[in-house]
Structure 1
Amino acid sequence: MASLLDEEGAISESFEKCLRQIFAKYCNPKPESPFSGQLPPNACLDPAGLDAWACDTNGQPFSEDTKEEILQFMDVTDEGNLTFKGFLQVYQLQTENDEEETWRDLAKHGFDRSLNFVQKS
């Protein structure tokens, strides 16, 4: 099984690659190639992207309270859209508190426990 966090407790390089692919699926503007790992410099999750990610991950959009919390404590654009840095912050916190929930999220997006993409979600 791959490690989600490195020795210092930061997101591991392989986990970040997975998160980059997931983020690319929902961000605006969209990357030219979603599997390239390259995100446009101003890529973010707008409200529609945030809801789509939440639905695919949790089966429903986030509550207004959860959205407010994310937008208040995570890195967002001036318009209040979640940046990739903010997306990493969400997963950093979640993984520190409940690593198994993060593994479930990754599985829903097509990644196995070796952090390999195994299926289209």
Structure 2
Amino acid sequence: MISLLDDDGGISESFEKCLKQIFAKYCTPKLTLPLAGDLPSNACLDSTGMHAWALDTNGEPFSEDTKEEILQFMDVTDEGDLTFKGFLQVYQLQTENDEEETWRDLSKHGYDRSLNLIDKN
């Protein structure tokens, strides 16, 4: 099985590529998928994007407490929108604490345990 974290405990390169595609699906400005290349520097998840990501990932919106925690402790724009760096922080923290939950998230977004996109839902 592919490792989600590298030897230093950071997000692995292959995992980051998957997360970039997932982020691109929900971010503002809207991007053409699959994303080829880098995210624009102003890409972020506004409240609508975060809501859609939570629904697709967890089947329900984030609680107000969860949203507050994400926006307080993760990297956000001056307007309070989650940046890609913040998105990576969410997944690094989650993966360190419960790797299986991250694998479930990836599966909901169409990735297998080799981080190949098998379902382009």
TM-score range normalised by the length of the shorter chain: over 0.9
Between 1:7-16 and 1:31-40, the stretch displaced more is 31-40
Equivalent residue number for residue 67 of structure 1: 67
- Unaligned 5+ residue runs, structure 2? none
How large is the RMSD of aligned CA atoms in angstroms?
A: 0.9
CA contact (8 A) 1:14 1:115 kept: yes
Asked if residue 90 in structure 1 is aligned to residue 90 in structure 2, the reply is: yes
Q: Distance in 2 between matches of 1:66 and 1:46?
A: 15
SS of 1:39 mapped into structure 2:
coil
Shift of 1:22: 0.1
Equivalent residue number for residue 31 of structure 2: 31
Equivalent position amino acid for 2:63 in 1? S
Identity over aligned pairs, percent: 79
Asked if residue 14 in structure 1 is aligned to residue 14 in structure 2, the reply is: yes
Instruction: Specify whether residues 37 and 23 from structure 1 end up closer, same or farther in structure 2 by C-alpha distance, changes over 3 A only.
Output: farther
CA contact (8 A) 1:20 1:37 kept: no
Shift of 1:40: 1.4
Figure out how many residues of one structure are paired with residues of the other and give that number. Answer: 121
TM-score of the pair, normalised by structure 2: 0.97
Equivalent position amino acid for 1:48 in 2? T
The aligned runs of 1:34-49 (5 Å cut-off) are: 34-49=34-49
Partner deviation per Cα, 1:37-94 (whole Å, 9 max, x = no partner): 4211100000000000000000011011100000000000000000000000000000
TM-score of the pair, normalised by structure 1: 0.97
Structure 1 residue ranges, 4+ long, deviating more than 6 angstroms after superposition: none
Q: Distance in 2 between matches of 1:33 and 1:113?
A: 21
Q: Distance in 1 between matches of 2:37 and 2:106?
A: 16
Equivalent residue number for residue 4 of structure 1: 4
SS of 1:21 mapped into structure 2:
helix
